[in-house]
Amino acid sequence: MRSVDVIIVGASLSAAAAAKRLVDAGLETIVLERKELPRHKICSGILSPRGHRFLLENFGPLPREALHEPTSCRGVTFHFPSMVSMPMDFFGGTTPHLHRKYSDYWAITRSGAEIHDRTSFVGLEDHGDHVMVQARKNGESVAYRARQVIGADGPSSLVIRAIYPDYPQSIPWFFVGQKFHDIIDCPLSPDYFHFWFHPGLGHYTWSHARDGRQIIGVGFKRGDNFAQKHRNVVNYLAEKHGVRLHPHTEDEGCGENFGPSLINRYVFGKGNVLITGQAAGFLNMIGEGMSCALHSGAISGEAVVEARLRNRPVQEMYRRMIASEVRRTTDQWNPLKIAFERPHEADFRAALMALGWRDRGKVLRDLWRFLVLYKEFKWGRQMFSAALQRPLIGGYSMQRWL
Ligand SMILES: Cc1cc2nc3c(=O)[nH]c(=O)nc-3n(C[C@H](O)[C@H](O)[C@H](O)COP(=O)(O)OP(=O)(O)OC[C@H]3O[C@@H](n4cnc5c(N)ncnc54)[C@H](O)[C@@H]3O)c2cc1C
């Protein structure tokens, strides 16, 4: 049995950032990844400027194979049912369009941690001064012993289930699916990620160019019909935007914990087990999760290092250090922050003010109608009340943190 300082579950971006901090501090770290590396990851690969800076500062310039075509993205274009479109450039220029299969492998390799791929985390027992981890590799059980475990295993985290078995039932689950089409004619600019605030299309509707094809994506409540939702969007884009596509040649989808950051309900772990990245609930608006995965992952690694140096409980350290990332992520969803501050990395306010009065009114009305779509959920109502309370109480309600 291997005995190390830290086991990280998952070999994605949050794991790479955590591993970098731990290895730099001299801690022996093993990363467990259930898939064979480099592995596919369903993702649009649109990196925010903050995520880009993190990668550059911590891992260096990205290799060409870690990028899709087009290799960069200028920003996001919002489309509204009133047919107003608002292109918004990222602050500070374009960012790389990541090919997650290779960017994640590049980052985790550069972290310097020891990587055990095709090794699935199965369970753990926290004994106070150490954690026993059970995993499976090629059908065989493998055991590890570590001082701390970091769960960086994404939305359907088994590490969370190991410490809070009922957690998955306490949050809303979505399905996101995307289909890849060869293009006949597509007037949507390939330089932008396109997002529709359209209640008739679904909770989350997007499109962008990748490697000569056009992706059409839809997000909706678990249980709805993917094929029907997707067809609806394809027809809408043809009719309203003149997008003409061949039938799709490929599709993929997955379940998403789309909501914890919306209602400020994160999960950071228990005892010697820390949860980070999207597993913890970090997801920015428009489903941008890479920058907060990187930053929260780094903070989880730093928290382990600091806890050892100061001889303090690691949970206490992590919760104190992660507060800045919580505020940043939760602000992204706060309608009042969006209206009066700049929580995003593209200038919504400037794009809005560039419109005429009439179009501005249409956009605000369409946005409101879109947000009301989320009121049907209990947590959607919580979002509205949380957004209204926050400026009054001047902070975030810590009691929601698990
Ligand atoms: C369709 C779609 C489009 C998206 N587009 C964007 C985008 O354009 N920009 C953006 O910033 N974000 C986007 N996101 C979100 C982004 O992909 C995630 O937020 C981000 O990858 C989260 O990183 P993470 O490190 O927390 O976890 P993940 O990237 O989810 O990685 C978790 C890792 O853990 C491994 N794992 C899981 N279970 C186990 C286990 N039991 N044992 C061992 N290993 C395990 C997985 O195989 C995986 O490698 C998108 C997501 C989807 C679904």
**Candidates 47, 103, 290, 329: which one to mutate for ligand 1, based on the most atoms within 8 Å of Cβ?**
290
Give SS3 for 27: coil
Inter-residue contact 255 to 222 (CB < 8 Å): yes
Question: How far apart (Å, rounded) are the C-alpha atoms in residues 305 and 147?
Answer: 11
Q: Say which DSSP state 98 is in.
A: E
> What is the residue with the minimal CA distance to atom 51 of ligand 1?
43
Q: At what angle do helices 49-59 and 13-24 cross, to 10 degrees?
A: 40
Question: How far apart (Å, rounded) are the C-alpha atoms in residues 70 and 180?
Answer: 15
> How many A from CA of 185 to the centre of ligand 1?
31
What is the H or E stretch that residue 3 is in?
strand 2-9
Which amino acid is located at 186 in the chain?
C
pLDDT at res. 389:
52
Pairing between β-strand 140-151 and β-strand 114-116 as defined by DSSP bridges: unpaired
> Is 43's C-beta closer than 6 angstroms to any atom of ligand 1?
yes
pLDDT at res. 171:
82
Give SS3 for 343: coil
Instruction: For residue 271, give both structure tokens.
Output: 């005892």
Dihedral (C-alpha) 29, 32, 35, 38: value to the nearest 10 degrees?
A: 0
Given a cut of 70, the residues of the chain with pLDDT beneath it are 259, 335, 374-402
pLDDT at res. 396:
47
pLDDT at res. 371:
76
> Is 345's C-beta closer than 6 angstroms to any atom of ligand 1?
no
In terms of Cα–Cα distance, which of 256, 259, 257, 281 is closest to 268? 281
In terms of Cα–Cα distance, which of 108, 120, 149 is closest to 5? 149
pLDDT tens digits along 220-268: 887 889 999 999 999 999 999 999 999 999 999 999 887 677 777 789 9
Question: How far apart (Å, rounded) are the C-alpha atoms in residues 296 and 138?
Answer: 31
Question: How far apart (Å, rounded) are the C-alpha atoms in residues 367 and 375?
Answer: 13
> How many A from CA of 184 to the centre of ligand 1?
31
Query: How crowded is residue 166: how many other Cβ atoms within 10 Å of its Cβ?
Result: 7
> What is the residue with the minimal CA distance to atom 48 of ligand 1?
10
Which amino acid is located at 96 in the chain?
P
**pTM score of the predicted model:** 0.94
Give SS3 for 207: strand
Of ligand 1's listed atoms, the one at least distance from the Cα of 279 is 26
pLDDT at res. 387:
56
Q: How far is CA 202 from the centre of its chain?
A: 19
